Structure 1
Amino acid sequence: MNILAIDPGSTSTKVGVRRAGKLVKASIEHPRSEMEGFHAVMEQLDYRMEHLLRYLHETGADQVRWDAVVGRGGLVRPVPSGVYLVEEPLLRDLIRGVSGEHAANLGGVMAHAVAARQGVPAYVVDPPVIDEMWPVARLSGMAGIERRSMFHALNQKAVAREVARELGKTYQELNLIVAHLGGGITVGAHRKGQVVDVNNGLNGDGPFSPERTGGLPVVGVLQLVEQGAFSTEQLKSIVARKGGVFSYLGTVDLREAEQSARDGDGWAALVLEAMVYQIAKEIGALAAALAGEVDGIVLTGGLAFSATVVAGVRRRVEFIAPLFVRPGEFEIEALIDGALRALTGAEAARRYQGGAHEDRT
């Protein structure tokens, strides 16, 4: 089957073209200087579509008859894991950004636009708002504020399934802790095929990352607001884009930070060690949440290419369970696989209704 996959990121649009059984991947880069000219994510739609259609034309892929087009899922309302048809309710919530603004919101909208040209189905797969959390994991410690499930669901579930196959098991047979280590960091407890607890890496929860603050001492944040140091909008930007390693070292490039540490910068070395320390603590906390019944720990995402990060985490957590390292992201492959499951009937596509209980087609 011929399938086009579209995966928008903050400064790129990754594309996967599957035809004649072969997958070709590419990344269309968008200079940060150009992206900063847009005030909202949906303002980028025409710009990204122009670049996508140009790529398809230049590679001859615009002549392909697609069986389906699949996009990265965005920040819609909490939903169960699965493959979703892109229809009006889903489009509406992607465009509105009902759970927040993120480049991923463009995935389903772009997939629908391309699919509509040929009258074929458009899908999204395992959006970041998958909610399979235990009730006990939702309580935050303050009535009126609930812990929310928002994480790198697509990649986490893809690598979890891969590790399960390597172990000769199904995903539903294992308990895994999966840590996606990238610009944002999310660590999920995968119990028998469901992510029963996970930190919200976008909105200030869990370990700090190259650009996100992770969890912060609440009183310290309130004091900054009282002092007028930052507006609430400025603080939101810091939490999501200008915190973590960037706030300490002025860079989100881990390679730069590691080079500074190798050159004798003790502060850079401490910042990196603290990030690794917090990642390991999060993994340890989820091991306790799973009552120690952990079949494996999986590190994935861009930071898993770092020998320093992997070695530091390994040293602190390998006593819990075997460690599997799957560096990089497998989102294009996961999108293609999800669309194939829906097209072949291996998995029934869901119809999004704007709530946690969705109907299957």
Structure 2
Amino acid sequence: MKILVINPGSTSTKTAVFGGGEPIFIESIHHPSDVLSQFNSLKEQKDFRKEKIVEVLKKHNISLDQLKVVIGRGGILKPIEAGTYRVNNRLMNDLIQSKVEHASNLGGIIAYEIAAGLGIPAYIADPVSVDEFEEVARVSGLKEINRISLLHTLNIRANAFRYAEENSKKFEDLNIIVAHLGGGISIAPLKNGKIVDVNNANEGGPFSPERAGSLPSVDVMKMSYSGKYEKNELVRLFTKKGGLVSYLGVNNMSEVIEKIRIGDKYAKLIVDAMCYQIAKEIGAMATVLNGNVEAIIFTGGLSHNKELIDEIGKRVNWIAPIVVYPGEGEMSALAMAAFRVLKGEEKEREYI
């Protein structure tokens, strides 16, 4: 039972084949910028990237007719429940016509085109737009603005499934908090397996290596009308040049930790502040679960850093036991989502 996994990025396409739950190979296909510049849009790169994927399969002696299913990274879609979705015409159209041009949109499109030629299913799983909010979580404090669900769904759910399996629990019985710590930060409470709230990973919550997180609204308004910034400059400032980049000029946590080790007190203050904000957000999400928290799971690239986890942990370890699953593992997460459907552990969903 072989599963082809496709995860397009801006300058690469991660490709893998899994068999029996284990990777047969995982390879990142690099696309030179001078080649990609020949295309007018990401959508025009579809056939080029598909050809490169087929070439990699041949290199690893895997024929297309050996594949049981193809799964791609979920793109920018309308709000949907978590799960594994079979790519149908409606989903394809939404990916093709998406107002947001993002490389992940190609995941489902390429998966569908490869699978259609083989007569096998194509899936996407747990895109960033998954929305399982309780209605009370949508209220912002201003009638004209709703809180929205935007998060690192794939990694959060993959590690929640891992925790359930390792602890002999049913996923739908889980009451846990998962903190994805990477370039962006998502802190999500799962109530009976549903992601019922989350800080918006782009616009709110703790600041991160690149993102500014929640900011005082009046000061943001003053910046917006100062005449110093265009709209796209502010978006970039808040989402790409905020957080550690704003304060320390770098987004690499290892570099920041090295600064602290050689005595940089300012760097330590900023990292302590980031940990403080992460811990505060975890504490807030514990109230969403009425304090009934089985575990706090840390995942994402920053979770490799023991000093960081220890600093956050000392503020939240009274809430629940801490579990650390470092890294992202998107390829494995996608493969496992497909395997759960194939094994009947989870039903495939229809995109409507």
Question: Normalising to structure 1: TM-score of the pair?
Answer: 0.90
Give the count of matched residue pairs: 351
- Cα offset, 1:22, TM superposition: 4.0
- Runs of 4 or more consecutive aligned structure 1 residues displaced over 6 Å after TM superposition: none
Note if 1:182 corresponds to 2:186: no
Equivalent AA in structure 1 for residue 164 of structure 2: A
- Give the Cα–Cα distance (whole angstroms) in 2 for the partners of residues 206 and 40 of structure 1: 32
Whether the 8 Å contact between 1:213 and 1:243 is mirrored in structure 2 is: yes
Q: Which residue of 2 aligns with 1:90?
A: 91
Q: Which residue of 2 aligns with 1:153?
A: 153
- Give the Cα–Cα distance (whole angstroms) in 1 for the partners of residues 107 and 266 of structure 2: 39
- Specify the SS of the correspondent of 2:196: strand
- Give the Cα–Cα distance (whole angstroms) in 2 for the partners of residues 146 and 72 of structure 1: 27
- Give the Cα–Cα distance (whole angstroms) in 2 for the partners of residues 4 and 128 of structure 1: 21
Percent identity of equivalent pairs: 43
Cα deviation 1:166-224 (Å, max 9, x = unaligned)? 2221122221000011111100000111011111102x111111111111111112111
Equivalent AA in structure 1 for residue 240 of structure 2: R
Note if 1:213 corresponds to 2:212: yes
Q: Which residue of 1 aligns with 2:249?
A: 250
- Cα offset, 1:36, TM superposition: 9.0
- Give the Cα–Cα distance (whole angstroms) in 2 for the partners of residues 86 and 170 of structure 1: 27
- Cα offset, 1:325, TM superposition: 0.2
- Specify the SS of the correspondent of 2:106: helix
Q: Which residue of 2 aligns with 1:357?
A: none
Q: Which moved more, 1:164-173 or 1:71-80?
A: 164-173
- Specify the SS of the correspondent of 1:70: strand
Equivalent AA in structure 1 for residue 74 of structure 2: G
Equivalent AA in structure 2 for residue 49 of structure 1: K
Q: How does 1:132-281 map to 2 (within 5 A)?
A: 132-202=132-202, 204-281=203-280
Cα deviation 1:128-180 (Å, max 9, x = unaligned)? 11111111110111112111111111111111121122222112222100001
Cα deviation 1:244-283 (Å, max 9, x = unaligned)? 1112222221111111222222222222111111111110
- Cα offset, 1:348, TM superposition: 2.6
Q: Which moved more, 1:13-22 or 1:162-171?
A: 13-22
Unaligned stretches of 5+ residues in structure 2 = none
- Specify the SS of the correspondent of 1:257: helix
- Give the Cα–Cα distance (whole angstroms) in 1 for the partners of residues 44 and 239 of structure 2: 20
Note if 1:70 corresponds to 2:60: no
Distance change >3 Å, CA 46–CA 232, structure 1 → 2:
farther
Question: Normalising to structure 2: TM-score of the pair?
Answer: 0.92
Note if 1:109 corresponds to 2:120: no
- Give the Cα–Cα distance (whole angstroms) in 1 for the partners of residues 269 and 11 of structure 2: 29
- Cα offset, 1:52, TM superposition: 2.6
Distance change >3 Å, CA 40–CA 273, structure 1 → 2:
farther
Give the alignment's Cα RMSD to 1 decimal: 2.3
Q: Which moved more, 1:7-16 or 1:120-129?
A: 7-16
